[in-house]
Amino acid sequence: MAPKILLVDDRPENIYTLRRVLQKLDVAAEIEEATSAIAGLELTLRHDFCVAIVDVQMPEMDGYEMVSLLRGNESTARLPVIFVSAIYSDEYNHRKGYEAGAVDFLSKPLVPEILLSKVRVFIDLYQQRQELELANQKLHQNHQILERRTRLLEIARQVSHQITAILNLEALLAEIINSIQAQYEYAFIGVWLWQAEQEALTLEAATGSFVLPDTIVPKAVQGPLVEVVESRLPVYLTDPTAVSETQLPSHPHTAVVLLFPLIIGQDDLVGVLDVRQRHQQPFDDESYVNLESLSDQLAIAIRNAQLYDRVLRFNEELEQNVQERTQQLDKAVERLALLDQSKSDFIEVVAHELRTPLSLVKGYSEMLQTEPGIQTNELYMLQVKGIVSGAARMLEIVNTMLDMIKIDAQTLQISPEMMSIASLFRILRSELAPTLNERQQILSITELEQLPHIEADEGALFKLFYQLLINAVKYTPDGREIRVRGRFHGRVGKDDLTEQAVEIAIEDTGIGIDSAYTELIFDKFYQTGHVSLHSTGKTKFKGGGPGLGLALARGIVKAHGGHIWVESDGHDEINYPGSTFFVLLPLRLSRVISF
Ligand code: ADP
C-alpha cells in the first residue's frame, strides 16, 4: 500500500508548491490535502498518514491547535507533524511548535531537498513500522495455529487415554464415536471392522442412528473402503456421490469423506475409521494429523478389546466344558459307588454262605485229628492236618472279608477296654513263632514295656498287628530281621491340643514299597505286582493274599481314632530297603486325634 502524506495549508498555492516538491520523491506516495485545520483533522480520521505537513498560521484554528487536538486522539497521537512557517520561524515559535507536538520545523521559503529528505525519513519509518506490524501479525497467527494444534493433540491424547481403559468391544466403539464427536464435531463418524474370515468390512458403530444392521462391504465390491484395506493408506473423497451405495453407504448432509486405516504396526489391519464433514469443506492439516495419531491408538484399543472378548468367550466355553465333565465324572463316580456296593453285597453273601460249611469242615477235620485210627497212620495224619490248616486259612479269609464289609458299611463295632500293648505283642509273638521259625526270621520287640495301657479293642488290635506282622514276614526274605518298637507321645495334634498317644513301628528288612503305592496299598483289594506272580501260601516269601489286610488294618485304626502310614526307601528286591509301618493310637478313645 502506498504511503499517504497529508498537506494542510489555507493557501492553495502553498499546497501546490508542496505537491510539486513531493512529486520528486523516489517512492510513489498518495497525497491528501486540506485547506483548513478542521478539514485536516477530518482526513486524519479516515486515512492512515505517515506524515502531515501543516502550515502554522491558518485562520479559525492554527497549526498548533490542530496538532494538540491530534495528540489528544488515540488513533492520531503518534502521527508525525512537520510545521511550515514563514513569519514564526524564530526560536520562540519553534519551541512552541515542539511543545504542541511537532516533530520538525521547516521555514519558508522551502528548500526542496530538505523537505524531501525529511519526508523520506518519515516514509521509511512508516514503512518499517508497517513491516513490523505485518511480522507481528504473522507471529500472532502462527502462535494461534500452534495453540490450536496443541489443543487438538491434547484432545487426541485424552480420547485415547479414555478409550484404552475400556475392554468391552461394544462399549469401546460407542465411546470412540462419542469422544471424537464431542471433541471434533464432525457430521458423521463410523468405525468399520475388518472380518478376516469373511474378507469384508462391517460397520460396527456410528454416530446417530446410522448403523444399519448387517452393513457389510465385502472386499469383492471394490471402492474407497476396499482401497483403504488394500493400500493401508487414508483415502480422501471430495465427491462421495461418485461412489455406489454398496461400496460406501451414503450419509445425508455430508459431502467430504476421510477414510483412515486402523492398523497396528505396518500391516495388521483392524478396520477403517470413517469421518465425514457437512459442507464441501476440506479437512485441515490439523484434523488430518490428529486423526492419524488417534487412529493408531484406536487400532490398539480395538485389538485389545477383541482379544479380551475372545479370552472371555474361551473362558466361558472352558467353564461349560468343565461343568459338563464334572457332571460326567459325578455320574461315573455314582456308577462306581453302585458297582462297589454290589461287589460288597456279593462278597458278603458269598462269605456268609461259605462260613457255615467251612466251620463244619474245620470242626470235623479237627475231630478227625484226634481219632486213634488216624493218629496211628502217619499218612492219614498228614492229610487230615492239611485239611485242618486249609479250612482254618479259608475261614480266616472269609472272616477278614466280613470284617471288611463292616468297615465299608461303617458298622465295625469295637469294644474298648484298658489293655497293654506289650502283652498283646507277647501273644502275637507266640502265635507267629512257628511261622518265624519256618522262615528263620528274627522278631525283636523293644520299648513296649514302658508304654502306658491304652483304651482299645484288644481283639481288633490283635487283627491289626497280626496283619502288619504277617505282611512283614511275607515281604522279607528268609533269615532276616523284623523289629517292633513303641513310643509314647505326650503331646501331638494341631492347635496346641495336649493329646496323648502311643506309636508302634513295625520295621522289616524286606523288598520295600515304591513311593507311588504308599497310599494305594491301604485300599481294599489293592496289591502291587500281578496276582499271578505271587507265590501261594500265607507266610511264604511274597506269598499271595486277597489284598484286604492293609484295608482292614486302616479300618481298625480309624475306628480307634488313630492313624496308620508307611515309610520306605522304595521297592528293591536286590538290596532290600525294607518298610516301616507306623500306627498311632490315642491313649483314650474319647480324645480322638485329628490329622
Ligand atoms: P495282601 O493280601 O496282598 O498282602 P495287603 O492289603 O496286606 O494285601 O497288602 C497290599 C499290598 O501292599 C501287598 O500286595 C504288597 O504289595 C504291599 N505290602 C504290604 N505290606 C508290605 C511290606 N511289609 N513290604 C512290602 N510290601 C508290602
Burial of 67 (0-12, 13-18, 19+ CB in 10 A): buried
Q: Are 467 and 553 in contact (CB under 8 A)?
A: yes
- 511 close to ligand 1 (CB < 6 Angstrom): yes
Q: Which three cell numbers stand for residue 345?
A: 453285597
User: 399, 482, 515, 527: which to mutate for ligand 1, most atoms within 8 A of CB?
Assistant: 527
List pLDDT tens digits, range 455-485: 999 999 999 999 999 999 999 999 999 999 9
Candidates 84, 113, 106; CA nearest to 15 is 84
- 568 close to ligand 1 (CB < 6 Angstrom): no
List, in order, residues 6 or more apart from 230 with CB less than 8 Å away: none
Q: How far is the CA of 474 from the centre of ligand 1 (A)?
A: 8
- 518 close to ligand 1 (CB < 6 Angstrom): no
Q: Which residue's CA is the closest to the ligand 1 atom numbered 21? A: 471
Secondary structure class of 565 (helix, strand, coil): strand
- 547 close to ligand 1 (CB < 6 Angstrom): yes
Q: What pLDDT is recorded for position 490?
A: 77
The answer on pLDDT for 496 being more than 50 is no
List pLDDT tens digits, range 60-118: 898 889 998 998 888 898 899 998 887 655 666 666 767 666 678 888 888 899 999 99
Q: Which three cell numbers stand for residue 292?
A: 492419524
The answer on pLDDT for 594 being more than 70 is no
Helix (H) or strand (E) holding 568: strand 563-568
Secondary structure class of 160 (helix, strand, coil): helix
Candidates 323, 195, 186; CA nearest to 256 is 186
Tell whether the torsion through CA atoms of 33, 36, 38 and 41 is positive or negative: positive
- 471 close to ligand 1 (CB < 6 Angstrom): yes
- 545 close to ligand 1 (CB < 6 Angstrom): yes
The answer on pLDDT for 497 being more than 60 is no
Query: How far is CA 388 from each of CA 159, 265, 366, 436, 541, rounded to the nearest angstrom?
Result: 96, 90, 6, 20, 22
In terms of pLDDT, which residue wins out, 336 or 282? 336
Confidence of residue 280 (pLDDT cuts 50, 70, 90): low
Angle, nearest 10°, between helix axes 458-474 and 421-439? 30
pTM (whole model) above 0.85: no
List pLDDT tens digits, range 104-161: 888 888 889 999 999 999 999 999 988 999 999 999 999 988 887 787 777 777 777 7
Q: What pLDDT is recorded for position 529?
A: 58
List, in order, residues 6 or more apart from 242 with CB less than 8 Å away: none
User: 521, 567, 579: which to mutate for ligand 1, most atoms within 8 A of CB?
Assistant: 521
Strand-pair category, 51-55 with 4-8: parallel
Q: Are 556 and 522 in contact (CB under 8 A)?
A: no
Name the phi and psi angles at 54, rounded to 5: -120, 130
Angle, nearest 10°, between helix axes 112-164 and 169-184? 160
Rounded Cα gap, residues 221 and 247, in angstroms: 6
Rounded Cα gap, residues 70 and 38, in angstroms: 11
Q: What pLDDT is recorded for position 405?
A: 81
Candidates 408, 486, 432; CA nearest to 454 is 486
**For a pLDDT cut of 90, what percent of the chain falls above it?**
49
Secondary structure class of 530 (helix, strand, coil): coil
| Residue range 359-372: mean pLDDT, rounded | 91
Q: What pLDDT is recorded for position 85?
A: 81
- 466 close to ligand 1 (CB < 6 Angstrom): no
List pLDDT tens digits, range 537-561: 667 777 767 778 898 899 999 989 8
Confidence of residue 284 (pLDDT cuts 50, 70, 90): confident
Rounded Cα gap, residues 370 and 213, in angstroms: 102
